[in-house]
Amino acid sequence: MGSYTTSSSSAQGESMNGKLIFRQLFEKESSTYTYLLADSFHPDKPALLIDPVDKTVDRDLALAKELGLKLIYAINTHVHADHVTGSGLIKTKVPHVKSIISKASNAKADLFVEPGDKIYFGDIFLEVRATPGHTLGCVTYVTGDGVDQPRPRMAFTGDALLIKGCGRTDFQGGSSDKLYDSVHSQARIYCSSELVYTSAFHFQVSTVGDEMLYNPRLSKDKETFKNIMQNLNLSYPKMIDVAVPSNMVCGLQETKSDL
Ligand SMILES: N[C@@H](CCC(=O)N[C@@H](CSS)C(=O)NCC(=O)O)C(=O)O
């Protein structure tokens, strides 16, 4: 994808002296977190949603409107199996919005990202990091490095690294070996105070440092981790048969030939 800009030139609320608008939103049926980010210093207040859910699209769009934001991207960390992404529905309601997913996911979307790409909204950007293992195409979006970027940096890990857990690795190209390497190699790049925001579960925020020390799965050595993952015995997500086909076209099944 390279980099996408809308440019001219602070956690819940606003950070980096008010430059970044940030909201963490929750969808309770699937226990999914959605994130709204915007550049409040830019005249258009360009905004993006990370991991929107179809059921809460109206809530998310109403919030963006209330804050005076111009939503430009609906971004997915991966092809989710427990809920349908809101990116398709958002596009039907706000046609200029572009859906984004990783190229490695093999899903359809308006724009595809690869590791190292930057997604600009105003003067703020997200970097794309490959974090396969929960699914083959999982990526983590990390706020940019630079004096004009929000501090502390924030990592949106999807289901790769969960707070006190991690995504399962038993379908969609999952691999416990890959997931361990993904998280540990990325953790070496992150600074340990970097904030971790995930797409699922009940904890709102952690830090990379805390997860490397205390995560009951990923703080272990690789063989122990693989053994834990092999013995999770989780039941399949209730919505997997609906969610995966729909998310492979970013929630736009009925108009997939247009993508
Ligand atoms: N109960 C949920 C599905 C729970 C589940 O399997 N969650 C996934 C993320 S969505 S594919 C996961 O990776 N869980 C990790 C774990 O340790 O539980 C439902 O049926 O929707």
Instruction: Tell me, letter by letter, the H, E, C secondary structure of the chain.
Output: CCEECCCCCCCCEEECCCCEEEEEEEECCCCEEEEEEEECCCCCCEEEEECCEHHHHHHHHHHHHHCCCEEEEEECCCCCCCCCECHHHHHHHCCCCEEEEEHHHCCCCCEEECCCCEEEECCEEEEEEECCCCCCCCEEEEECCCCCCCCCCEEEEECCEECCEECCCCCCCCCHHHHHHHHHHHHHHCCCCCEEEECECCCCCEEHHHHHHHCCCCCCCHHHHHHHHHCCCCCCCCCHHHHHHHHCCCCCHHHHHHC
Confidence (pLDDT) at 252: 80
Summarised one tens digit per residue, pLDDT across range 13-32 is: 555 558 999 999 999 999 99
Side chain identity at residue 175, one-letter code: S
Confidence (pLDDT) at 126: 97
| CA separation for the pair 101, 250 (Å, rounded) | 8
CA of 124 to the centre of ligand 1 (A): 32
Q: Which fold has domain 3-236?
A: Metallo-beta-lactamase; Chain A (3.60.15)
Record the pTM: 0.93
Closest ligand 1 atom number to CA of residue 234: 6
| CA separation for the pair 88, 249 (Å, rounded) | 8
Residue owning the nearest CA to atom 2 of ligand 1: 237
CA of 143 to the centre of ligand 1 (A): 26
Summarised one tens digit per residue, pLDDT across range 175-203 is: 999 999 999 998 877 777 788 999 887 78
Residue owning the nearest CA to atom 1 of ligand 1: 237
CA of 213 to the centre of ligand 1 (A): 23
Q: Return the best residue to mutate from 159, 179, 230, 236 for the ligand 1 pocket (most ligand atoms within 8 A of CB).
A: 159
Confidence (pLDDT) at 16: 54
Q: Find the residues whose C-beta lies inside 6 A of ligand 1.
A: 30, 81-82, 159, 165, 167-168, 200, 232, 234, 237-239
Closest ligand 1 atom number to CA of residue 165: 17
Number of residues that make up the chain: 259
Whole-angstrom distance between the N-terminal and C-terminal Cα of the chain? 16
Summarised one tens digit per residue, pLDDT across range 88-100 is: 999 999 999 999 9
Confidence (pLDDT) at 17: 58
pLDDT for 258 beyond 90: no
Confidence (pLDDT) at 6: 39
- Considering only CA atoms, give the Rg of the chain: 17
Closest ligand 1 atom number to CA of residue 168: 13
pLDDT band at 2 (very low <50, low <70, confident <90, very high): low
Summarised one tens digit per residue, pLDDT across range 227-254 is: 999 999 999 999 999 999 999 999 886 5
CA of 194 to the centre of ligand 1 (A): 25
How does the average pLDDT of the chain come out, rounded? Answer: 91
Confidence (pLDDT) at 107: 97
CA of 248 to the centre of ligand 1 (A): 18
pLDDT band at 9 (very low <50, low <70, confident <90, very high): very low
Confidence (pLDDT) at 13: 52
Tokens, residue 256: 């997939």
Q: How many CB atoms lie within 10 A of CB 12?
A: 9
CA of 155 to the centre of ligand 1 (A): 20
Residue with structure tokens 């226990």?
31
pLDDT for 10 beyond 60: no
Summarised one tens digit per residue, pLDDT across range 216-234 is: 999 999 999 999 999 999 9
Q: Which of 221, 224, 226, 218 is nearest to 166 (CA)?
A: 218
Confidence (pLDDT) at 15: 54
Question: Among residues of the chain, what percentage have pLDDT more than 90?
Answer: 84
Closest ligand 1 atom number to CA of residue 239: 21
Confidence (pLDDT) at 1: 58
Q: Which of 25, 258, 34, 31 is nearest to 156 (CA)?
A: 34
CA of 199 to the centre of ligand 1 (A): 11
| CA separation for the pair 115, 124 (Å, rounded) | 18
